[in-house]
Structure 1
Amino acid sequence: MSAEAARRAFAPNWPARLGLLALALYALYAAAQLDVTFARLMIGFGEAGRFLGRMVPPNFARWELLAEGMLESLQIAFIASAVGIALSFPVALLAARNLMPWWISGPARGFIGLCRSLHYVIVAILFVKAIGFGALAGVCALVVASIGFIAKLFAEAIEEISPRQVEAVRATGAGFVAVLLYGVLPQVASRFVGFCIYQVDSNLRNSTMVGIVGAGGIGGTLFAAFKRFDYDFVAAILIVIIALIFAAELVATRVRAALQ
């Protein structure tokens, strides 16, 4: 290869460089507009140090209240996961473009997009306004979030299957249900299980947050402690939440390993 050809092979990508430069300049402009300054950051670090100092040592004296809120969060997470996964499967089948015509898959995909368009906390606020405070609002919010996430992954997994196995089952004269059971599900079953485990783990985390807006769970206890400036109890709640998430991650890892 000549020197001229080598230079052409490693020629600089000026459009990409200009794009990165424009992005960096806009980031600086946005930081100035939002008053994001180093001085404010240093003040924030000082305040954070004083805040953390008031959280030590954690106060576990009101462990009954803590256990009650955590149990409610667990119940919200598992109910929302079960209902959300059960509803996500038929929605995903309707949204799979290799199984359904466009006039069915299109609206189904639009419904999935609608479920994904709003953050689960915003959805929880809407349900709190609609059906009142309590765990039911949290369950409904996480069901919507579960459909938006799981149904999308289910549909994409179904669209990636090999058509040969589906065509072989159809060639036997099998109906739609038999095609699903013997042509589609065997190809995606392991991925479905992985998606479901991840969603349960995600709902465990999210269930601790919906309570902040009145949708039940430990989040309500946490928000009330913040309003009372009861920071040592806040520390106890955060420790329990972190321990719960670590335990859920450990269980999920063991389940995935057992299913492989």
Structure 2
Amino acid sequence: MSAARTAFRPNWPARLGWLLLALYVVYAGSTLGFVPERFATGLDHGRRFLARMFPPNFSRWELIQSGILESIQIAVIATVVGIVIALPVGFLAARNLMPPYVTWPTRGLIALCRSFHPIIVAILFVKAIGFGALAGVMALIVASVGFIAKLFAEAIEEISLKQVEAVRATGAGFLSVLVMGVVPQVLPRFIGFATYQLDSNLRNSTMVGIVGGGGIGATLFTAYQRFDFDVVLAILIVIVAMIMAAEIVSGWARRVFQ
């Protein structure tokens, strides 16, 4: 009589890994001060803070409107300029089109752009060129180049080279090969990347304003410093509405252009 066999053998290395991860989470939480008493105190403070925010105060609508318009302008300019820069960078980073001595430095540039959060980059630009929307635009351009160029290069590396070789066989030059053999294969995905980056820049434009990069973030931070929490709630409502409207527009753009 054969010995009984289990349907699924236990994966002891995986179980040990999960156990070690759980133990580390408990240890890290204890070193960072995550205790139930502090959490309960925070809930009470949060309840009182939210009570001071209601009802929202839209009496400063002109100030809120100007901040929102500036954030939209920052996001649109940063996205357009970032796309223009990211296109050639993405081509140079594609390992199936370029030699290694070109792709490695280009990928290093992309990694550098992706290494820092937009807020950190915005702080550097604020220090370099001063407060205002220009610092926010420059910070979001860096973020856009890092994101779009990386995904664009990966999309190019996944294309079928048969179409590229067919265009080359006609005697077309390098630019013609890119336009006729590469771009048609990656254009739908590139449109998705661009619309997503516009959404991301709209969200990030509110954050870079907190550190001096202009836009609605600066208005939000000023209202918070003045303890006008009802105005803060009004600004947050407008920001959420802006992001939802941008999501609707980006979804429409993907359906139309893909």
> What interval of TM-score do these two structures reach, taking the shorter chain for normalisation?
over 0.9
In the superposition, the TM-score normalised over structure 1's length comes to: 0.97
Match of 1:140 in 2: 138
Counterpart of 2:220, as a letter, is L
2:240 is aligned to: 242
**Partner AA of 1:126 in structure 2:** L
Amino acid across the alignment from 2:246: A
Q: Which amino acid aligns with 1:77?
A: A
Mapped partners of 1:188, 1:18: distance in 2: 43
Alignment map for 1:39-78 (pairs within 5 Å): 39-78=37-76
Choose 122-131 or 246-255, whichever is displaced more. 246-255
Distance 2:150 2:220 in 1: 32
Aligned to 1:195: 193
In the comparison of the two structures, how many residue pairs are matched? 257
Shift of 1:259: 2.5
Deviation at 1:10, TM superposition (A): 1.5
Determine the C-alpha separation between the residues in 2 that align with 1:56 and 1:10.
Answer: 55
1:241, CA displacement in angstroms?
0.2
The match for 1:118 is: 116
Shift of 1:192: 0.6
Counting only pairs closer than 5 Å after superposition, residues 1-260 of structure 1 correspond to structure 2 as: 6-7=5-6, 10-260=8-258
Q: Distance in 1 between matches of 2:143 and 2:134?
A: 14
Describe the shift of the 1:12–1:224 C-alpha distance in structure 2 as closer, same or farther (beyond 3 A). Answer: same
RMSD between aligned residues: 1.0
How far is 1:41 from its partner?
1.0
More off after superposition, 17-26 vs 165-174: 165-174
Q: Which runs of 5+ in 1 are unaligned?
A: none
Deviations 1:33-83 (A, max 9, x none): 000111111111111110000000111001111111111101100000000
The 3 A distance-change label for structure 1 pair 3 and 149 is farther
Q: Deviation per CA, 1:8-30: give whole Å up to 9, x if none.
A: x6211100100010000000000
Render the CA deviation track for 1:175-223: whole Å, top value 9, x for unaligned: 1001001110111111111111111111111111110000100000100
1:215 aligned counterpart, secondary structure: coil
TM-score by length of 2: 0.97
Taking the aligned partners of 1:137 and 1:217, their CA distance within structure 2 comes to 11
SS of structure 2 residue aligned to 1:100: coil
Hey, which bits of structure 1, 4+ residues long, moved more than 2 A?
Answer: none
- Which letter does structure 1 place at the counterpart of 2:82? G
Provide Cα deviations, 1:95-136, integer angstroms capped at 9, x if missing partner.
000000000000000000000000000000000001100000
The Cα shift of 1:3 comes to 5.8
Name structure 2 gaps, 5 residues minimum: none
CA shift at 1:258, angstroms? 2.0
State the SS of the aligned residue for 1:229: coil
Cα distance in 2 for partners of 1:203, 1:68 equals: 18
Q: Distance in 2 between matches of 1:99 and 1:259?
A: 26
1:60–1:96: structure 2 CA closer, same or farther, 3 Å change rule?
same
Aligned identity (percent) is: 66
CA distance in 1 between partners of 2:137 and 2:253 (Å):
24
AA at the equivalent of 2:21: L
